[in-house]
A and B are shown apart, each in its own frame.
Chain A
Amino acid sequence: MRAEDDRKALEKERKRWEDTTLRKAVESLPERRKEFVTTSSRPLKRLYTPLDLGVKTDEERLGKPGGFPYTRGIHPTMYRGRLWTMRMFAGYGSAEDTNRRFKYLIAHGETGLSVAFDMPTLYGYDTDEPEAKGEFGTCGVAVSSLEDMRLLFRGIDVGEVSTSMTINSPASVIWAMYLVAAEERAIPMSKLRGTIQNDILKEYQAQKEWIFPPEPSMRLVVDTFEFGSKQVPQWNTISISGYHIREAGATAGQELAFTLANGMEYVRWGIDRGLQVDDFAPRLSFFFNAHNDLFEELAKYRAARRIWAREMRDTFGAKNPRSWLLRFHAQTAGVSLTAQQPEINIVRTTVQALAAVLGGTQSLHTNAYDEAYQVPTEAAARIALRTQQILAHESGVANTVDPLGGSYFLESLTDELEDEAYRYFDRGQGAGDCRRERLRRRRAAGTRTASSERGVPEGPGGTSPAHPADARREEARAVPRPAPQGLRRRREHDAPHPRRRAGEGDPGRNHRRDAGDLRRLGGASPLLR
């Protein structure tokens, strides 16, 4: 009764203010626009008050930092205990070139490594494959062999530093190279810390660097969960990424919803494999964009933590609180950078980085100002890193846990984003159920053909579709398209590349030895049979 009276009093007071003070102000100076919206076109109110907060108590909505539902952060002390990891995404040219850039960044105070691989590596091609023509080392480092991996980390203590690798389709292979390169230096797998991106779902949705169809790809992902949970316990076996979805044009709400929906899909596949949710869920990590609209971004991170904690505990029955924690990396929005007047990108990046920090990120990459038109120079990468250091050491924002928590605006926006995400989940649920049902029926009917195992699309007249939508899709496949001719992927049994046929292989490479090294890993794992 008391709460209701309070609410009525607040409403009355607001009405009074609107009718007197506000009306006078607007009459003498009209507002700049009729409607104010966020970067994601979300309409905003003029003013937020306790009346916008709904019926939940602060305890339900926020909890305490380090406590369920983790809205205010995953650690009780946040950056007072330890600053976020300053992790600059870097990679170009050969392994030697990138090794130099890593050492440069470490020398300037970087606290974690993050590898950008070139396009052929991301697609699992060797540098000397015809498909890789012109792409060597242009937007990342080329790693075609174990020897390249050794060179990439030469002189860097991989037992101490944590390494994030943006690699997806070939993630299991690249990770195996990293583990072997570390093993050769007598660093046990149990000591290694880092992340493989390994998020194949967002490749189909946004980033496009997939090799295999979804089902076998998901099998590989779950293989790494299984291997990691047993052998590399401190490794994040996936970084479930909204970044690319956002860069491809999603709104903040869509980024939040699709990323978490993907996350839950991985959890379902892990459980379907027979894994205990608490065995692999603590090693799931996330990756979000840090875009222009400060408060909307902040609300996104906070809503993400709250949704994940609730879904993991209540829907998936995780008992270990570490399974409930949404730990994330953030990167400032590449898409917001301009090639014209590039120096103002430094300011944009600063505001975006501030959002990530106020939002409680675990690690951060700040874009270099010249990324709109080239691979960053050393000087530009240094400014980007210094931006983080200024936020950490000079701005004061790292000295208080969740300094904006309790803001009427922020809390209301957080609730709104959370609701929006659940609306997307509800819409997506139907589609997801169909897909799972289809797989179940195919499995039950034993119609998973050799061609689908190999990843070749089944032609018409192959398996019979179990679902009307499948039938439509099969039909669409049967219609010849005026597609470009001659597109095909290189296969093992194709004639060897001329350079290799002539016996002029990379002198630094020993394929046989590398294969042996990688096979030894396989002994411990279903990953490398």
Chain B
Amino acid sequence: MIPIAKKIRVLIAKPGLDGHDRGAKVVARALRDAGMEVIYTGLRQTPEDIVEAAIQEDVDAIGLSCLSGAHMTLFPEVVKLLKKRKSGDILVAGGGIIPEEDVPKLKKAGIKVVFGPGTPLRDIVAFFETAGKGA
């Protein structure tokens, strides 16, 4: 029998009120083109919405995008809720306009990696490819 590789599933999510969705859509498309299954939440999601969608969709990883400056509140909240729902194994990455000084704090709060403006798409793809390995 030929082994069927399990496709990596990723949820791309827009937490908060921010309407900048070009970045999220570009990333979603790059991951799709790299062979992953991508679910995009659309705009204006609460951390609860995102965690619920991640669990229902059985994803390996979540990519959070926020350009409004609310990342310090919303990103850690997603990680916290995932743990609470016993889904702490889902990797969480963040992206957007995120000041450098916030990056260590976000990592401490459980965000695996933070992608700032100008990050090459191949770096983002490479990160999400590692998400499948752990599963």
Contacts and interface: CB of A to CB of B under 8 A. Distances in A.
A133 B50 contact: no
Contacts of A125: 17
Nearest to B47: A133
Interface in A27-57: none
A518 interface: no
A504 to B, nearest CB: 20
A23 B117 CA distance: 45
Contacts of B21: 208
A135 B70 contact: yes
A112 interface: no
B45 interface: yes
Interface in A357-375: 372-375
A337 to B, nearest CB: 9
A123 B70 CA distance: 15
A246 to B, nearest CB: 12
B19 A482 contact: no
Contacts of A372: 97, 117
Interface in A184-217: 207-209
Interface stretch (B51-59, B87-95, B105-113, B124-132): B51-59
Contacts of A138: 68-70
A487 B57 CA distance: 16
Interface string B1-35: 00000000000000011110110000000000000
A339 B117 CA distance: 6
Contact of A135 (B45, B48, B50, B68): B68
Contacts of A173: none
Interface residues of A, number: 30
A374 B99 contact: yes
B134 interface: no
Main secondary structure of the interface of B (DSSP, over half): loop
Contacts of B52: 484-486
Nearest to A136: B70
Interface in B41-83: 41, 43-46, 48-50, 52-53, 56-57, 67-74
B97 A133 contact: no
Given A207-B19, A208-B19, A338-B118, A119 B49 contact: no
Interface string A118-139: 0110110100000111110011
A487 B68 contact: no
Given A484-B52, A484-B53, A487-B49, A208 B43 contact: yes
A485 B116 contact: no
B52 to A, nearest CB: 5
Contacts of A131: 17, 46
Nearest to B43: A208
B73 A133 contact: yes
A21 interface: no
B70 A134 contact: yes
A197 to B, nearest CB: 14
B17 A135 contact: yes
Contact of B56 (A132, A207, A340, A482): A482
A487 B46 contact: yes
A339 B118 CA distance: 7
Contacts of B50: 484
A249 B97 contact: no
A527 B73 CA distance: 36
A67 to B, nearest CB: 40
A248 interface: yes
Contacts of B19: 207-209
A482 B22 CA distance: 23
A373 B116 contact: yes
Contact of A373 (B22, B71, B99): B99
Nearest to A334: B20
Top 8 nearest A-B pairs (CB, nearest first) are A134-B73, A138-B69, A208-B19, A134-B70, A484-B49, A119-B17, A484-B53, A339-B117
Interface of B: 16-19, 21-22, 41, 43-46, 48-50, 52-53, 56-57, 67-74, 97, 99, 116-118
Interface of A: 119-120, 122-123, 125, 131-135, 138-139, 207-209, 248-249, 338-340, 372-375, 482-487
Given A134-B71, A486-B49, 11 more contacts: A119-B18, A120-B17, A122-B17, A125-B17, A138-B70, A207-B19, A248-B22, A373-B99, A374-B99, A375-B69, A487-B44
8 contacts: A119-B70, A131-B17, A132-B17, A133-B16, A135-B68, A248-B22, A372-B97, A487-B46
